[in-house]
Structure 1
Amino acid sequence: MGSPRDSTAPGTPAGESANGAIEADSDTADASSVSVSVVLPAYNEAETIESTVATTLRTLAGFLPAESFEVLVAEDGCEDRTPEIAARLAAADERVRHVHSDARLGRGGALERAFEAARGDVLAYFDTDLATDISHLEELIDRIRIGEADVATGSRWLPGNVADRPAKRGVPSRVYNGLVRTLLRSDLRDHQCGFKAFSREAFETLAEDVEDEHWFWDTEMLVRAQRAGFTVAEFPVEWTPKGDTKVDLVRDVFGMGSQILRTFWQLSVRPRLSRRVGLVAGAFLAVFALVLMTQYIDFGTVLSEMGDADPLFVAAAAVVYLLSWPIRGVRYRDILEELGYRETVPFLTGAVFISQTGNLVFPARAGDLIRAYVVKARRGIPYPSGFASLAAERVFDLLTIASMAGVVLIGYTATGQTAELARTVTGAAGAGRVAVIVALGVGLVALAAVVGIALSARSDRNFVAAVVYRISTDSYADFVAGVIGRFVDDLQTVAGTRRGFTRVGTSSVAVWTLDVVTALLVLAAFTPGLAAVELVAVSFFAVSVGNLAKVLPLSPGGVGLYEGAFTLLVVGLTPLSPELALGAAVLDHAVKNIVTVVGGYAAMLGLNVSLTTAVEETRDVRDARDEAPELD
């Protein structure tokens, strides 16, 4: 956030800047004498702001020396007369300052901006509706002023002083605070009471790490203050609900819930992650998924079935799958050409081989980072372009496999087989059922998202971002909408022309068709006795859904999830036994992974690339990556 300006343009009223970006009024007061700054966050408060400022000044004057305090009206993109009133108050009283923003910054963003403009060493704020009894202001400020605490906050939920709140506000508040206490290990009872104060040192230290700019800002400040070792004092306050809350119980509660999870990840999970932990966790999940299958499948019979598979069909499957890789290279070349880069197919095929090998070895799609590293290190393609090309590729992957699964499902519906499939899925247990449910859910979400992205790419309006903002309007929503916006831009660049869409779309269909043919040949190796049409249909559907099940990076390469979904669908749609279906699934995935690893290591030798070095080199750009599902 930029620093506020304490000046006005010639010809503009005090308190209003020429461009309306941000300003703070009344520079006539001696800044060195101000020790306490009180900020009033104001959004459309024309009815109350004047009386609140007067009450605040009167209360501060009752226990602080003259000219030792200031009141800043943090007016946040208001749509009523609040800016005009705040400017007038600032012009009339040198103790009042007006910090204005034309655009909405969010509650936390407006507070941060005002605190940066403040002159005092004690920084306090409270809600302008004066729901918290103003008589507590002296205690709030003195907790910081005398050095008793670095952060002070009023509480409506301390034992013996529970506020009388309407159920529609009290119940969500209790649930919310309980989640914060549990997940974020906070010792406080009330995190959202709009009555807080900070020392200058605490604020400046914490503001660097706090990411939210809306309603979660209060909570994140308190949680990070405790983690940073600052002394946080919580004391009971008298609180009376005033009017309707500005918190949207759908959008903001949902958004704040996502912020709890984000902060939990940043403070409790990510610091404990390492490459070794990731590898162990991924391996455990893969083994666990396979162990679940042993509860309803005889693995001895599975091994026997695999031993009886025709090696000629298996070898043919490996050759067919190998043929898909140059097509992947061609597709990647076409994507990069649309982004303005020309590279050779052999090099790009090697880069794809290496990245997919990384996805098999490392968890959390580290291979995606490796590809961006390879094209930058060997061809000088910037990281943003590398991530953009990968994002566009993933969009086409999702659209292709979801469409393939959807077409086959329509065919099964037309022939009346979906009822049997539904009974199979609902009656199954273990990894297979979980995998299919995950796949179907991911498929529906992915297809809806891709359609929305495609519509956005062909329009000036971002339809998907509009949906996100209907659910939440906090900074996490901004992050999600930003990611979607980059996807839309990337897709528009790559597929914005008929030529680009046709080239990349055609090669995507070819890649995934060969992936299906590989599975078909492996299944045929078991001599299943299925008619050709039935064999083709079940292969297309099982492979498509199996790959959708792998979208969530629960294990390296999706091992276990793919096999579970493939097995369950083959059993539900054919008379084949679970043992034969699982044998085919394991062998199919093994053939593909072996081809990938062999090709990947050959490419590493040819391009002189080390997987571990690539991962280390890309740590600094990890946050720049667009989230993309793993599909191989």
Structure 2
Amino acid sequence: MDEPHLSIVIPIFNEEQRIKPSLVKILDYFQNKPFKWEILLVDDGSKDQGITLAKETLHNKVEFRIISYGDNKGKGYALKQGVLASRGKFILFTDADLATPIDELDKMLPWFEPNADNSGYDIVQGSRKMNGATIERHQPWLRESMGKVFTWLSNNVANSHVSDVTCGFKCYRREIGHRIYAAQQLYDWSFDSEIIFIARKNGYKIKEVPVHWHDVRGTKVRLIKDVVRSLKGLLQIRINDWRGNYSSLDSKLASFESIVTDYPEN
């Protein structure tokens, strides 16, 4: 099969209210794009009809795959499966709610290309917190404040050095994304910090770009519980690094065993 230019990875957990409108927007956006692309939907233990609606929406419109493993294992685990199954030259991770509109991708892909100043970036990710970003609808005050605290801790404990750790709109060169996610070990809210830590440790170049963003109600985050767990995760990142778990990325990639993937007829 021809290699896609872009793979889009979307974690799905009980998204029947949001997935169809989001997929329609994605299909509309890519309708006139001059390159081949694919969608990978990772079913993280959904109990609703979201995956069925997704199949109906995508059928005969684009090459897509469903990855399913039964139990809810967390967004980080879902992304690991989706990224490592991706075949595109570039891999985009986006949340199912499209809180960052899909057309913001136009701002990201050019940064992978070499120019007079550098040889191109390895990772390009959206930021809601840098100059030029536009927030149409803010998160509730407590959640937004906790996110800022977590970003500060992530920058100081896990050496993230980015303005926005948890924005759900990130793009990778395939070979870089595969190496990084093969070494990933954390699957709760702290996985974002771990991914950036692994990238920094191995010398990969990260570019942040300001994006348009709006809060979509109905988050699956259990604020206090997930924040406490994620703070523990930041410390676990340091322990994992001390144990050497974030080195020799190619050997970790070689040993990764992917989840069985369902290829629907389309």
**Shorter-chain TM band:** 0.7 to 0.9
- Could you tell me which amino acid in structure 2 is paired with residue 137 of structure 1? L
Q: Deviations over 1:22-69 (max 9, x none)?
A: xxxxxxxxx32412101111111111212211211221234333xx10
Q: Deviations over 1:196-239 (max 9, x none)?
A: 01111111221232111232222211121111100101111111
Identity %: 26
Correspondence for 2:66? 98
Within 5 Å, which residues of 2 pair with 1:51-450?
Answer: 51-65=21-35, 68-144=36-112, 148-161=120-133, 163=135, 164-267=138-241
Distance 1:77 1:192 in 2: 22
- Could you tell me which amino acid in structure 2 is paired with residue 84 of structure 1? T
- Could you tell me which amino acid in structure 1 is paired with residue 123 of structure 2? V
- Could you tell me which amino acid in structure 2 is paired with residue 110 of structure 1? A
Q: Which moved more, 1:134-143 or 1:31-40?
A: 134-143
- Could you tell me which amino acid in structure 1 is paired with residue 164 of structure 2? D
Distance 1:142 1:47 in 2: 33
Distance 2:132 2:7 in 1: 31
- Could you tell me which amino acid in structure 1 is paired with residue 80 of structure 2? E
SS of structure 2 residue aligned to 1:96: strand
Normalising by structure 2, report the TM-score.
0.82
Distance 1:246 1:189 in 2: 23
2:42 is the alignment partner of 1:42: no
Deviation at 1:104, TM superposition (A): 1.5
Deviation at 1:242, TM superposition (A): 0.7
Distance 1:262 1:91 in 2: 42
Distance 1:33 1:228 in 2: 26
Q: CA RMSD in A?
A: 2.1
Contact 1:57-1:71 at 8 Å conserved across structures? no
- Could you tell me which amino acid in structure 2 is paired with residue 77 of structure 1? G
Distance 1:215 1:253 in 2: 7
SS of structure 2 residue aligned to 1:250: helix
Deviation at 1:191, TM superposition (A): 0.7
Deviation at 1:145, TM superposition (A): 6.1
Q: Deviations over 1:395-428 (max 9, x none)?
A: xxxxxxxxxxxxxxxxxxxxxxxxxxxxxxxxxx
SS of structure 2 residue aligned to 1:132: coil
SS of structure 2 residue aligned to 1:59: helix
Within 5 Å, which residues of 2 pair with 1:570-585?
Answer: none
- Count of residue correspondences: 238
Q: Which has the higher contact order (CA 8 A, sep 6+)?
A: 2
Distance 1:260 1:128 in 2: 25
- Could you tell me which amino acid in structure 2 is paired with residue 206 of structure 1? I
Contact 1:40-1:125 at 8 Å conserved across structures? yes
Deviation at 1:90, TM superposition (A): 4.5
4+ residue runs of structure 1 moved beyond 6 angstroms? none
Distance 2:25 2:211 in 1: 18
Distance 1:73 1:91, change over 3 A: same
- Could you tell me which amino acid in structure 2 is paired with residue 157 of structure 1? K
Distance 1:206 1:183 in 2: 19
Deviation at 1:270, TM superposition (A): 5.9
Distance 1:172 1:32, change over 3 A: same
Distance 1:120 1:188 in 2: 26
Contact 1:90-1:97 at 8 Å conserved across structures? no
SS of structure 1 residue aligned to 2:124: strand
Q: Deviations over 1:281-303 (max 9, x none)?
A: xxxxxxxxxxxxxxxxxxxxxxx
- Could you tell me which amino acid in structure 2 is paired with residue 200 of structure 1? R
SS of structure 2 residue aligned to 1:239: strand
Distance 1:259 1:64, change over 3 A: farther
Deviation at 1:110, TM superposition (A): 1.1
Distance 1:93 1:224, change over 3 A: same
Which structure shows the higher strand fraction?
Answer: 2
Distance 2:28 2:159 in 1: 38
Within 5 Å, which residues of 2 pair with 1:493-572?
Answer: none
Stretches of structure 2 lacking an aligned partner (at least 5 in a row): 245-266
- Could you tell me which amino acid in structure 2 is paired with residue 209 of structure 1? A
Distance 1:133 1:87, change over 3 A: closer
Normalising by structure 1, report the TM-score.
0.36
Compare CA radii of gyration and give the structure with the larger one.
1
Distance 2:7 2:113 in 1: 11
Q: Deviations over 1:131-173 (max 9, x none)?
A: 1132211223343366621111100111353744321111101
Which structure shows the higher helix fraction?
Answer: 1
- Could you tell me which amino acid in structure 1 is paired with residue 171 of structure 2? A
Correspondence for 1:447? none
- Could you tell me which amino acid in structure 1 is paired with residue 7 of structure 2? S
- Could you tell me which amino acid in structure 2 is paired with residue 173 of structure 1? G
